[in-house]
A and B are shown apart, each in its own frame.
Chain A
């Protein structure tokens, strides 16, 4: 177990190091002169030189990289060129909004995916199953931003039930917050629901054909009890992993969803920072996103191996 943990941690650390390299190089490949962006169009050569000196842009690239990584580890990601606010502070302001959106959409996804997935596994190859499959294929194929536009068209423009965009903090006005978050959460949750539903169905079908389920049935237990007490527990384990792996897609989806519904969250921040060529912000935001993904998956893997000794042993062997 300890061996597996150490192995898993080492891999994550290497991944994080490679990520930092990719982000650093990538941002330096964005066309344009960061000094010029920081100084504004009015600045003369002397002003530019000052800024290069101040931010160490004249130093050799490896020196710049290690300085950046050193500061990043201590939580200092520099400051935004546009707002002069530190990157960490900006992210700290935007992240809770996206986290709320993400949690709500996971909630939406699970409420749809698990019942429908279980139902279509239990009633395999019936009309219900076909309907559920069709639904999940539609969920996978519908472009989320178009779904968002259609929802706005219907619920805001046509019916006038929900506000089309904007954001109100939950702590200021919970009702206003939720009415504005419903549509984005639904849009973001749809694709996730489709993926999770397929996974739930597949793993439930596998579990339902296991020997211990047959034993449970032959003991004379009711079908309901077998499904809910025996099958679901094992059937939902892979769903948790997939949920972890889908966090990246959820982040990407948040970018588009927040753009459409004008939610001032982390996803919108990414697009804004890219458009305004706010280099430190782009760098910090992308680094945080990728690192978060690595950490989430590390946690999923570790908690998984704690729950299931079979994976612990097999996982350690596979990792080699």
Chain B
């Protein structure tokens, strides 16, 4: 096909064959070698769009009850069926994306906002400060993540914000440990010593030299802890300690579904599938990101 040949020629004219590829092109080539990771990232992105565009995507109001449509199986009008109050399950699952994303992403933001500075200070200054922070972290880590989150929600009271805070605080020690460990190995590097020799202050060394070098490891950890946080929110809501009904959280939907397993099993299918697919996509993307950012992998 002459047209096709022309396109190829035009493209190679823009990028000469032996010209060094740009960083973006290199990055894309390495990403394209990992279809599962790429697929995961795409699905995460789709869920993000779903969360942002819920009012336009959802066919119905997630809170509107319809007494004539109670626990009806999947149909053309309600592709995912309806729940025990006649609400459209598809719309509820779509709106539930907002809650899950919010809880998953913001809780990890919070964990990083506390954990990274604490770990930086502990690893950078060592000494008494380090000992104090690390002993506190040890104790903190001794509480199982979920039990700590349950305890914190009990203190704070059940709501989406409080569940997010509780999950974030429960996830924090992981970031303190990780950051500290990374800082310990980075601060001995020659470029850090060099920056010091040039007279850079502590803050500058931490902010400009140490932090950028450990950022990718932290990013990977964040991507793989978000699915855990999403599942934790669903569990808290499932137990009645998170988002309160009638808000469409995937966890509360599963809680309601549990009573109708025999008569309306579809109530349990969709919210669970949504959690599973979102968590799986984050994990796939995170795994890919880990390999992708690994300098040994060129």
Contact = CB atoms under 8 A, between A and B. Distances in A.
A181 B63 CA distance: 38
Interface string B258-298: 10011001001001100110011011100100000000000
Interface in B130-179: 135-136, 138-147, 150-152, 154-155, 157
B142 A290 contact: yes
A153 B261 contact: yes
Nearest to B134: A11
A252 B136 contact: no
B235 A256 contact: yes
Contacts of A140: 227, 279, 283
Contacts of A255: 146-147, 150
How big is chain A's contact interface, by range?
35 or more
B279 A141 contact: yes
Contacts, number: 127
A270 B150 CA distance: 9
B44 interface: no
Contacts of B155: 26, 29-31
B104 to A, nearest CB: 12
Interface residues of B, number: 44
B258 A149 contact: yes
A145 B135 contact: no
Contacts of B145: 248-249, 252
Contacts of A251: 144, 147
A162 to B, nearest CB: 14
A146 B268 contact: yes
B231 interface: yes
Contacts of A234: none
A105 to B, nearest CB: 15
Contact of A141 (B146, B265, B283): B283
Nearest to B263: A157
B118 interface: no
Given A137-B280, A146-B275, A150-B272, A274 B154 contact: yes
Nearest to B184: A318
Interface of B: 36, 135-136, 138-147, 150-152, 154-155, 157, 227, 231, 234-235, 238-241, 254, 257-258, 261-262, 265, 268, 271-272, 275-276, 279-280, 282-284, 287
Interface of A: 11, 14-16, 18-19, 22, 26, 29-31, 134, 137-138, 140-143, 145-146, 149-150, 152-153, 157, 248-249, 251-253, 255-256, 259-260, 270-271, 274-275, 282, 286, 289-291, 293-294
